[in-house]
Copies of this chain bind each other. A is one copy, B any other.
Amino acid sequence: MSITTPAGFRAAGVAAGLKSTGAKDVALVVNDGPTFTSASVFTANRCQANPVLWSKEVVKDGTVKAVVLNSGGANCYTGADGFQTTHATAEKVGELLGVGAIDVVVCSTGLIGMKNDRDDLLAGVENAAAGLSAEGGAEAAEAIMTTDSVSKQAVVEGAGWSIGGMAKGAGMLAPQLATMLVVITTDAVVSAEDLDTALRAATRVSFDRLDSDGCMSTNDTVTLMASGASGITPPLGDFTEALTQVCTDLAMQLLKDAEGADHEIAISTINAASEDEAVEVSRSVARSNLFKAAIFGNDPNWGRVLASIGTTGAQFDPADLDVAMNGIWVCRNSTPDADPETVDLTGREVSVTIDLKSGDARATVWTNDLTHAYVHENSAYSS
């Protein structure tokens, strides 16, 4: 049930001393082939960390043979010296595996503006390479954790092929990815072009619709590698559906483990003129600190929902909006309807449904509530 479930992959996770706690902090995932096709997506932030700058070059030809990841330091805003650390990491992996450094994706996560100790990191890479095994997936998933309270893994089985994934991230989740590292493996035979199509379709409705706190990270990377070891080429539709399941499963694990959150909130906009407008409306609510604080207080404050919808450019009649919370229509035609007292928000899962009455498109964006623990974690610790 990990990234080493699909045939053709080995992985390892070791402690290299980058984390002051002594916990595992270097992971290595290797594709042993016979194919080495891949696809990746990266943060849309223009201020990108050194490993992102490097890895974007690596993935251009559709070939990736290994992914090396470290926690304990993001290697972001660390200048030319930081880039050299990333490059040296890829070189070391290439040397140990007998592959080109230019086929090695590098991911880092942790504090921004702090250099990783290059010697510690490279020694960790050496240990990880020595410990590679077809049972190493769980260890690798553990080694990429930062403020995560649990490691995140998912597997979906196809007909003779499978997809495995691991993810880290427990906050800073935002549109178009955020401090999130994801590695996905498959033993299906899929061209790089089809992997790219499938990955973009899958991330568009999963990771891209997580918006925990509206912030966008500098290091986000999702890399998908196909070993072809099953010898099976599934129909692209089947593959995309399974990949979407893996991504959605991982995204929901990230949502549930978001820093300091008390509630997982699914904001669905229905009957929108277009899917883009449905996303825009749901995201505007997901970004409202007032709304998120209200949910923390178990207050079904639909007025704050309407106030957020009103900031968007979507098609709707401001006097004819309906809003349900946990299935109870507390607002119809932009006026009070069911008694908000009948809405029970004490459970972790909260649903908000917004009916725009302007078409037949829909979309869901997931977010968390704004809690004392969020403020505490993000004021007491740097990242």
Residues of A within 8 A of B (CB): 44-48, 76-79, 111-114, 172, 213-218, 287-290, 293-294, 296-297, 299, 301-304, 306-312, 318-319, 321, 331, 333-336, 370-372, 374-376, 378-380, 382-383
Contacts and interface: CB of A to CB of B under 8 A. Distances in A.
Contacts of A79: 319, 333-335
| Protomer copies | 2
B113 A77 contact: no
27 contacts: A44-B311, A45-B310, A46-B310, A46-B312, A48-B318, A77-B306, A77-B334, A77-B336, A78-B335, A79-B333, A79-B334, A111-B303, A112-B303, A113-B335, A113-B336, A114-B336, A214-B287, A216-B310, A217-B307, A218-B307, A289-B289, A289-B374, A293-B374, A293-B378, A299-B382, A370-B378, A371-B375
A44 B352 CA distance: 24
A53 to B, nearest CB: 9
Among all A-B residue pairs, the 10 with the closest Cβ atoms: A297-B379, A112-B303, A47-B310, A293-B378, A79-B335, A45-B310, A46-B310, A293-B379, A296-B379, A113-B303
Give the one of A112, A218, A378 with max B CB within 10 A. A378
A217 B307 CA distance: 6
A335 B50 CA distance: 12
A170 to B, nearest CB: 13
Nearest to A332: B79
Nearest to A334: B77
B47 A334 contact: yes
